[in-house]
Amino acid sequence: MNLEEIKKLIALLNENDLTEIEVEDSDQRILLRREVAVALEPRGIPVPAQAPSSSESTEKTPNQEPDSNLHQVTSPIVGTFYRSSSPDVSPYIELGDLVKKGQTLCIVEAMKLMNEIESDVDGRVVKINVDEGTAVAFGEALFTIEPA
């Protein structure tokens, strides 16, 4: 993917009022987000000065949840999201499960640090925001929980 193509993606994002856009081909993947944009793996791509500087950020503000009753469990590190401890076992939790505070929800891995993320509330999992094996940013919402 070259700079012109990335610029077109940014234009597409803005013109269509999208919050994020993700493009993947055989050897690279780019994820652009508005306001809280995250450049995941292709951080080394030279970005011209006129491009939105926020696209280089690896941080984001916590997701705004329209329903204030819902609780977001966020990632404390940049890494890969896994719903189970290994590929051949069941996920820690499924959509709709009731979870207890302290119950393991997932693992986020970075540089062979396996970080178990535990729920910090009792409640029901109403949304799993991230797909298995995808990269997550610092502060990215992983699960949405309706507190009991």
Sheet with strand 141-147: strands edge to edge? 71-74, 141-147, 123-128, 98-99
Q: How far is the CB of 61 from other proteins (least distance, A)?
A: 15
Rounded Cα gap, residues 67 and 69, in angstroms? 5
Give 46 or 66: the residue with its C-beta nearer to other proteins: 46
Q: Quick one: which H or E segment has residue 30?
A: strand 29-33
Draw the binding track, 88-117, toward other proteins (x: CB under 8 A; -: no contact): -x-----------xx-x----xxxxxxxxx
Q: HSE (CB half, 13 Å, CA atoms) of 127? A: 12
Under a CB-based contact definition with an 8 Å cutoff, are residues 136 and 81 in contact? yes
Stretch of 11-19, 61-69, 82-90, 122-130 lying at the interface with other proteins (CB under 8 A):
82-90
Draw the binding track, 31-70, toward other proteins (x: CB under 8 A; -: no contact): ----------xxxxxx------------------------
**Which of 8, 14, 19, 76 forms a contact with other proteins (CB under 8 A)?**
76
